[in-house]
Structure 1
Amino acid sequence: MKRKTRKRSANRYGMATALTNFALTLILFAVGVACFYEDGGTVSAAAEENVYRRGGAGTGTVCLMFNVYENTPVVYEILEILREENAKATFFVGGCWADDNERCLNDIKAAGHETGNHGYFHKDHAALSLKQNKEEIENCNLIAEKLTGTKPTLFAPPSGAYGKNTLIAAAALKMKVILWSRDTVDWRDHDASLIFRRATEKTTDGDFILMHPTKQTAAALKDVLAYYRTHSLKAVTVSECLLATAAPQ
């Protein structure tokens, strides 16, 4: 009898230990998942539904996206070229730039262009918490609305970096997340002919073309717009292009 009792007690002890270890494993897994997602995590397919990289085919349009944190005089050069070529664009402005350039911001609006949100400072949104993402986006919205009377509805994350927290923050603020399908890399390369090639080579309707207010971009812009015109492509704002797009691309 003693042997059987000891065996039964050992079995009970072993089962209890296994259950305890299993419970601890589940707790650690849950904590790990929570931390993983709070720091950005893997973006789900559902969360990606609010990310737009281009408009739909068949729209007959292309979108020039200018990300602006500096070079205000060049912004004015670009505005003049767009006026001469009867073209429209979306300017994604940094909040700290907008705060120091109220007149230019309103001149962008007065010319019929669209103002988008590029964060208040140029931060890595993929590395920000949910609260930090929301603050960056919202602070830029607040200054843009204060200075122009219009609140942006589009958010272009700096460097295209975003995570789950970015998408949750943007959705909470009722904003679309905008990326691009063509990158001119004009912030790095100073050859205007190279900017032209990247903005036109294999470009199709619905493309979002990423640019910045640089001297080389201003030098190439008139030829870029002439190319679009000869290929039956109209340069419009991102929102105008998306109106003809049924779903995110």
Structure 2
Amino acid sequence: MRVYIINKKNLMIICTVIILLLIFFTEESINTFFTKENEEPIRKVDPSIKRMAFTCNVDWGNEEIPKLLDILEEKGVKITFFVTGRWAYNNVELLKLIHSKGHEIGNHAYSHKMHSKISKRQNYIEIKKTEEVIDNILGVKPKYFAPPSGDYNDTTLEVAKELGYKTILWSIDTIDWRKGSTKDIIIKRVMNKPHAGAILLMHPKPATVEALPYLIDKIKEEGIEIGTISDLLNK
């Protein structure tokens, strides 16, 4: 049996390294280091599934939402609306109308902040506060979280997971918020992308409302069923 004797110099070096490690790894970083890696946001699913999800992020656009709902009802399509907490709080009846039409309600945080730029506590407040507003109005706890502007970091994913959410992004972006986005431009952006297993992002914009009937009809002609995020993930 070998006995290793640590001299004073080596002992000092070992102690110094330990102290530096303790300084470098804060409590939060140690927890992150030893916890299981966060799940990546969901942007699409297996393309062999002949199905896709439509999502609509809502923080404005009230005047277009009833028109959007009429088209979806006429076409027999249910989608997922990701709403901000502040919008839900200020538009109770419109939120109830969306839900009454059978559409899924998702969490889009409270005040549309950039979640990679805020603290873990602020991430928590933004998501949890929205959940509470939606639950108080509809009696429903959302299952999916869409970070505003698609902006997130590991902390955002960690908080969403702790609160029981799957984080959702997209594989097809209408970019309908951009100036100059006409009906024809939106149609081209959507139809040039693969649809099977995809998640489409849109907003309640006039050009989107104009393009929607055509998009639904053409995608259905491909034999693809359009539905909510739950429809896509659970099938």
Is 1:144 the counterpart of 2:138? The answer is no
Is 1:30 the counterpart of 2:21? The answer is no
**CA contact 2:172–2:193 (8 Å) conserved in 1:** no
In structure 2, distance between residues paired with 1:168 and 1:197 = 36
Higher helix share: 1
Query: Greater CA deviation, 159-168 or 81-90?
Result: 159-168
Q: Give the secondary structure class of the aligned counterpart of 1:135.
A: helix
Distance change in 2, residues 1:169/1:58 (3 Å): same
What does 1:51-70 align with in structure 2 at a 5 Å threshold? 51-70=41-60
**CA contact 2:58–2:203 (8 Å) conserved in 1:** yes
In structure 2, distance between residues paired with 1:219 and 1:82 = 12
Unaligned ranges ≥5, structure 2: 1-6
In structure 1, distance between residues paired with 2:165 and 2:71 = 29
Shift of 1:145: 1.1
* Aligned sequence identity (%): 33
**CA contact 2:81–2:105 (8 Å) conserved in 1:** yes
Q: Which residue in the other structure is 1:162 paired with? A: 152
Is 1:216 the counterpart of 2:207? The answer is yes
What amino acid does structure 2 have at the position aligned with 1:23?
Answer: I
Query: Greater CA deviation, 178-187 or 125-134?
Result: 125-134
Q: Which residue in the other structure is 1:124 paired with? A: 114
What amino acid does structure 2 have at the position aligned with 1:26?
Answer: L
Is 1:240 the counterpart of 2:235? The answer is no
Count of residues paired in the alignment:
228
Query: Greater CA deviation, 67-76 or 198-207?
Result: 198-207
Unaligned ranges ≥5, structure 1: 1-11, 245-249
**CA contact 2:195–2:219 (8 Å) conserved in 1:** no
Shift of 1:96: 0.3
In structure 2, distance between residues paired with 1:59 and 1:155 = 23
- Could you tell me the TM-score, scaled by structure 1's length? 0.83
In structure 1, distance between residues paired with 2:88 and 2:113 = 16
Larger radius of gyration: 1
In structure 2, distance between residues paired with 1:83 and 1:208 = 20
